[in-house]
Chains A and B, each alone.
Chain A
């Protein structure tokens, strides 16, 4: 297992390298002038050029790239052009709201998706199945920004049950943290819930047709035990992939929800960095997101081994 982990981590290095190159080239090709923006609206042409030199953006692209790689080799991601501070600090500051939101959204998604998918599979082709899958389809079809606004105005403004924005860190207490996290988590997690529910249903339907399930029934095993202990565990193997990659997407794709609910997370940082062409910051965020996906992929593979003992032999 240890050598497997080492191999997987080593194989991540070229991926990170390719992401670094693609990120560097793509963002430099995007139109927009961070020097003019940083110099300020009142700046003269000369002031803008001085700012460009100061940022090193006056150098040829290949020189900038070599410098960038040199810094990267020393694990130095540089300074944000606009924030004027190390990009790692900027990213780490924003992690808590984003990870909190992603975890809350994932918990919400799983808490709803697994029972829903199970119910739909066990009661396949009945009205229960149709209602559950219609709910899942609605979850897939409703955009997060629309749902977010709807939740804000119904549960926040009209009913007044939950606060309508702002992030409260866990250190403020679990109750305020959860109260402020419910609406954003539902907005962000609904699509993940729908995807997972549909995946659980289809995997369960396949597993329920397997011979060992028929055997279990023939042995007189209780239906609840068959479904929960034997079928669900096997059905979760493909579902884990959706959950794992979905979590990566939740961490990296919460721009809209973070904006609607005023959460100071990575999504808003990404959006600001992109709009301002803050090259060092956006490149670092890109690499950070790539690493999240690499780690999630690794965790998914390890989860396979946990769920399916046959796979452990291969590691």
Chain B
């Protein structure tokens, strides 16, 4: 078959598949969800917790949104341009997009929302603010952002679906919350999303209802982008903190979707016809972050020594059956194709105690070197890895670990005191979507171990200056070489998260969190 013929066949096949899917999608029903954590607020810009984002992502939208491959795609934006010098970004909004309160999206809403986001976000916004000249309404549907220096990660920043999110509120709502610390109340969580918020009974459930006037995009749904049509009349987002309760509810058919189930329940779930396992292979990552402000990890050789002692696959196998973890040397997730790299894999995966000893003695220390590691309770997903890591370090006779387990509130305090030598840390996919955002790459943040490195600053600046894919690829490789030379932290690899859906649920996907659009019931509940 000729190349054109093959392309035509693929196009026809895709069209047929899409037509079949479209005809199968049935509106109606109430989607019962078992979710683990309760949020404190539903204000997209007032907290960084995922429990908030997983509601916001179904209710509000930003100018851009990541697709299934985590590439930013336009959402509320129709067209956008960036000037050749990279200093002027112009965003033209889609026409006639309604908010849940009946107002129509206008440039003033975008300006007000982005200004609020710039004040509150601690990851991307500081870089933009440092370069921002002005952000203005040009006309009803056009917003212009003028910078003093280029900012190459603009689309990635504006497509964040976790953390402090750059979603668009009606200006009329934000005018009622002028203070720096004001939190938008739930009745004012108004967006342009496919669902609208109906009620929030604390610790019981959040109820969402389909927004019948939702202005869907024409492109097919992919991740958080494209046609995000809602099919359910209602979504009951129930808070079920105990994993056993979520498992039991899933097995009895009480819940159509049960989130974040223990990985060791996989066998039981797979053997049960009442549920279908839904695995997100790269759900989370844990790591050991070195405090580079005090001895012994102020010395690069000592951090490299730990990397030569730890054996990550053993740690991953401790928390998940084979197939539910990924050995990955990059601090980026395997599905972050723009940024992930194999550079450094050998250092990461190879255990070399002889070399570790040489590095320790070369740095002027005598094994075993006493170190204090702080960690949250190991009951958290992936948490048992830290115990295996400590065992590996102790058994090497090169380190003697004092593992201090504490709750998160204490750990947040301790990590700023900088008296620990290393800390156990966990991340989900969204915070790593670029070199700019991750807290582990911000020397001001405890998750980075406070490692100050001019070489990294230079890499970061290169990234901020460019939108070129080729240059980004070069930066990615340079960054990984720097990473495995400096070893600011040791990534343990990635583990899966496990959800279940009922066999009657179609179209469900889990990309770092539950998605309620593009999902429907097919068959009897």
Contact = CB atoms under 8 A, between A and B. Distances in A.
Interface stretch (B233-241, B312-320, B462-470, B509-517): B233-241
A230 interface: no
B48 A41 contact: yes
B415 to A, nearest CB: 9
Contacts of B240: 165-166, 262
Contacts of B239: 262, 264
Given A42-B164, A165-B240, A84 B202 contact: no
Nearest to A256: B242
A11 interface: no
Contact of B409 (A90, A268, A276): A276
A272 interface: yes
A84 B248 contact: no
A106 to B, nearest CB: 23
A43 B181 CA distance: 13
Contacts of B410: 31-33
Interface in A22-71: 31-34, 36-37, 40-45, 47-48, 50-51, 54
Interface in A165-197: 165-167
B407 interface: yes
Contacts of A277: 409
Contact of B242 (A34, A93, A259, A276): A259
B413 A164 contact: no
A40 B164 contact: yes
Contacts of B444: 44-45
A265 B406 CA distance: 25
Contacts of A84: 40-41, 183
Interface string B380-418: 000000000000000000000000001111101110100
A90 B202 contact: yes
Interface string B248-290: 1101101000000000000000000000000000000000000
B252 A37 contact: no
B244 A43 contact: no
B525 interface: no
Contacts of B254: 163-166
A152 B123 CA distance: 43
Contacts of B183: 84
A108 interface: no
B242 A260 contact: yes
A167 to B, nearest CB: 6
B321 interface: no
Interface stretch (A153-161, A206-214, A231-239, A286-294): A153-161
Interface in B212-253: 238-242, 244-245, 248-249, 251-252
A260 B41 CA distance: 23
A19 interface: no
Nearest to A271: B241
Contact of A44 (B47, B122, B204, B407): B122
B203 A268 contact: yes
Nearest to A162: B252
A33 to B, nearest CB: 4
A52 to B, nearest CB: 11
A45 B248 contact: no
B409 A37 contact: yes
B204 A264 contact: yes
A33 B412 contact: yes
A285 to B, nearest CB: 14
Contact of A264 (B163, B181, B203, B408): B203
A267 to B, nearest CB: 10
Nearest to A267: B203
A95 interface: no
A225 interface: no
Given A41-B439, A51-B181, A152-B248, A31 B413 contact: yes
A165 to B, nearest CB: 5
A51 B46 CA distance: 12
B241 A268 contact: yes
Contact of B48 (A32, A42, A268): A42
B202 A264 contact: yes
B38 interface: yes
B201 A264 contact: yes
A295 to B, nearest CB: 25
A164 B252 contact: yes
A47 B439 CA distance: 15
B408 A42 contact: no
A269 interface: yes
Contacts of A259: 241-242
A172 B523 CA distance: 28
Given A44-B444, A164-B252, A37 B204 contact: no
10 contacts: A32-B407, A42-B121, A43-B122, A44-B126, A50-B180, A51-B181, A90-B202, A157-B251, A262-B242, A275-B407
Given A33-B409, A165-B248, A166-B240, 8 more contacts: A32-B407, A34-B409, A84-B41, A156-B252, A165-B240, A259-B241, A268-B241, A272-B203
